[in-house]
Structure 1
């Protein structure tokens, strides 16, 4: 049975994830607005105290996944800082301008990270690579623990055929975690592809305007009822 991973943005979200029975959380900032950015060190420390494995996202900006030297240097620092703050894993990814896994950058980001202790998830940069099978092989060679993917589709339910193919190609060499627009009613079909984990944010928006200087879109928070429903769907 696949395990559940929940994307959260704060300590309260991590507590809800633990109560719901999630195996771990991906911790990020600005999830709804950007797809997720690196959370603060203070937030990583706070979430690491909640009794659930925390895997912070390491992504220095929105947009594509081809990075320059300054961005790579910053993210390498962020990886080290996240592990030092109590993270049990990290979530990251980098591509070349040709749409393949940037193995050199990945190795730089993970330099001096003890892979026997720290898990590595390659994020949804996987969904914009040119050749998924070749990308999986490259990630296996890098010792990456798992890959997060929708099968290249806007929503996982539309990528189930590709997910099944990725699971078959991975053949147990690397975990495949399904994530991207998953609704509770999609979970059974997505889990049926043979993926190792299902990832969703189970979030709702809280209307709370910050005025002219603080943004008017409110903020996202995890919905405990949705999180529990997702966990139940995986138990069927």
Structure 2
């Protein structure tokens, strides 16, 4: 489950989430690297719960083709968030030709050491994602977050089923994510994915004034959506 702060992490853990992806600016950008202070605070809050904290490492919005400087920043961020208490990292990089950036990925995996590495939805830009799984497995990726190439995971069921099947052969978990709704969960589980990923967020209206982003508000993790997700998974065969 994607969360953005300590309160959201507590809500998700209490509601039955098994693993969290901690990020920042989720609604506006699709997620960016959170501060090391936030990582440390969430890790402290969840210590002893058994809920893993995996941190998104992404320096900016606007795609996944990164310069050498941006790649270096991400390598530093991987090390920093793990030092702050994260259990794993969520990364991804692409070449201008639309292929996985193997050199950048190798640098991220090396920086992660023994920590788990998840490759994020950059894979949904790949023309033949099933073929890419072998590359990711060889690089040391443990898990892949994907919608099956569709705008929403609930619309990518056939691709997700194919990915899950190949992932089992390679020892790579397939985690369905991207616009996941509670009503999508039975079909996603039936597709054979190893896990499902959603944000369970709602917006709180707040006026920041001229210097605070206006009246756009901010996101919080909704305990009702978390509870409904856990109930839906428990009612079926949870991945």
TM over 0.5: yes
Calculate the TM-score normalised by the size of structure 1: 0.95
Match of 1:3 in 2: none
Match of 1:97 in 2: 96
What is the distance in 2 between the residues matched to 1:28 and 1:21? Answer: 19
Alignment of 1:160-171 (within 5 A): 160-171=157-168
What is the distance in 1 between the residues matched to 2:43 and 2:210? Answer: 34
Match of 1:154 in 2: 151
What is the distance in 2 between the residues matched to 1:61 and 1:139? Answer: 22
Match of 1:219 in 2: 218
What is the distance in 2 between the residues matched to 1:12 and 1:55? Answer: 16
Match of 1:26 in 2: 21
Calculate the TM-score normalised by the size of structure 2: 0.93
What is the distance in 2 between the residues matched to 1:29 and 1:102? Answer: 24
What is the distance in 1 between the residues matched to 2:78 and 2:4? Answer: 17
Contiguous gaps of at least 5 residues in structure 1: 1-5
CA deviations over 1:73-117 (Å, ceiling 9, x no partner) = 1110000000100000000100111111111111112224322xx
Alignment of 1:97-116 (within 5 A): 97-115=96-114
Q: Note if 1:122 corresponds to 2:122.
A: no
Confirm or deny: 8 A CA contact 2:11 2:223 kept in the other structure: yes
Which 4+ stretches in 1 moved above 3 angstroms?
Answer: none
Residue 49 of structure 1 aligns to a residue whose secondary structure is: helix
What is the distance in 1 between the residues matched to 2:23 and 2:169? Answer: 28
Q: How many residues align?
A: 229
Confirm or deny: 8 A CA contact 1:100 1:131 kept in the other structure: no
Residue 136 of structure 1 aligns to a residue whose secondary structure is: helix
Alignment of 1:46-125 (within 5 A): 46-51=41-46, 52-115=51-114, 118-125=115-122
Q: Which has the higher contact order (CA 8 A, sep 6+)?
A: 1
